[in-house]
Structure 1
């Protein structure tokens, strides 16, 4: 329901959970259920049916023909939402790439009227098969073109990251399940005006702002696309680039909608995706239990007690501002606590690395030797990783 509500212009007239012993290969549903739902759809004058799960091209074609409606499965619906939300050039290209990959698997739908024209024993394709292959080649060409464009965008983003790496400010990344309140928290911390609405996927493109916290600490704050369970594999691949900022973060804020009935399950999904992206447990993180203002008093007390027992959990409401002061203090402490001391031995030939360390302002002491420098640094693990990648 939440996914459907996230697509503008849709009026939801009803929903139903249909239990299947086994999906029918041709129609997904059994004959009886097919007729029952068809009658209800006709009576309610429904023009679009959403299925929260995968539907094969053949099933989609047959259901649309049987009911006289347009049908979208979970992947198709998410693609529609993403297409509506994408704002930056990269976001638009990522959506187009995912949509083309999805459409390529469903070409059979458009050419069923030619299927009977295939001749012989099927070893030689007829006109229908030829048209499908032509469409497939056209889509493949479009995918190649978009990937080339994306490569240029990714290079540009890499240059931006490289320039940010020269700025001695740590990166704090907001992650969380979609609609957890990340953009509202981002706006509260930065004073920015990022789209923040009570809907899924309100943010699709990574947004970054430099901000000075009330403690005087300067950080770069990154708002990311919301995570979701069972994200279609086309989208996991296509939107990986929008989550790259998380990999280089000095601190991760995992924002949770603690008022949601499935908050624990959502948190597990987020942690699983972070692990899949390659985010290690070494990266410091804080868990933010957001939307405390939406909880009844009877539920707030036990949660606040539970959070107080954990050093990595804070309770707040980004909407009302409650708990924000404690969050700012916790961010500062986490960033300071994440720093470690190390002594590096550099040759004179490593002038680039030497300059980078000073640009990062992590050098605490330095001695020149016959062949180079002995440099004492105080840095975060993310800075250490970036240094070794130079």
Structure 2
């Protein structure tokens, strides 16, 4: 999502008042509402079992424990967070592996026509690599989701070995999003009482040193001003980072995190909310609150990974009651864009657009078998707006 897209979001109306700096106080009453999406209803599942709107199609690009076609790489178990990076005339899609002991991340390289030309492992022998985030300098931050998890900086093209970044804190990491304007990295924490953090590198572009801060706000605040305070001991031992600062605001199960043009959006699966942090005004508000959806209307449940398109649409993974990908328009309407019938014991993970915005990558973490070894990674093509 670029700056023009976010300006469209801010000006689009009540559904996106949460993104407009002058309308944050009324955000709870104006959160996104269910409605008709820009692409129409979903069709019956295609030959790959993916239900999409008319004009869209899917292909399988990788399956867990199977050799990626045309390469020598066996795709990892439990594919999770992902992102795309320009690479020559093509691009690279990076995907995490949310498994213990043998986690990490792998990369698929595509040529200009979308053909896979190589695949490689870019991070090995780490634990529960869940989500993460791309940096402006072209690296992938792979986040470990366990009590003393770290952020690992990786190079999608494999040009350098991955490096752990302990200064970014040791906690149950979920996702990361870079804010080049304030030169910070936002971080979510997947705990029932998890916090929302930001990391201030001593030098932008170098994550080896800096200050970890935690967001402070009243315990029940859903909108209004916030402050930030340094975390005294980012190592998180013997006292967890989320318990070191008085007044740190707890969020119920932090998940996906996405930044664009002064706003950081993040999801909390425990209460099915999508939050918006206004980095300019240092305020929070809600973009989606199930309690604000009229009775009988479709509210999102199990919100997870989040990404955006060049048009300004947001794509939000939903894990319950079955894996789906929802679309929130700049006008504040949300609807189903993709559904995976038969994958009820799985999750939608890793949504990311190719650099030209024409292809969307997404995974079913545990496939139709509900097992980490049955993960499937898809490519979606069609008439995406913008």
TM-score by structure 2 length?
0.22
More strand by share: 2
Of Structure 1 and Structure 2, which has the larger fraction of its residues in helix?
A: 1
Taking structure 1 as the reference length, the TM-score comes to 0.22
Greater relative contact order (Cα < 8 A, sep 6+)? 2
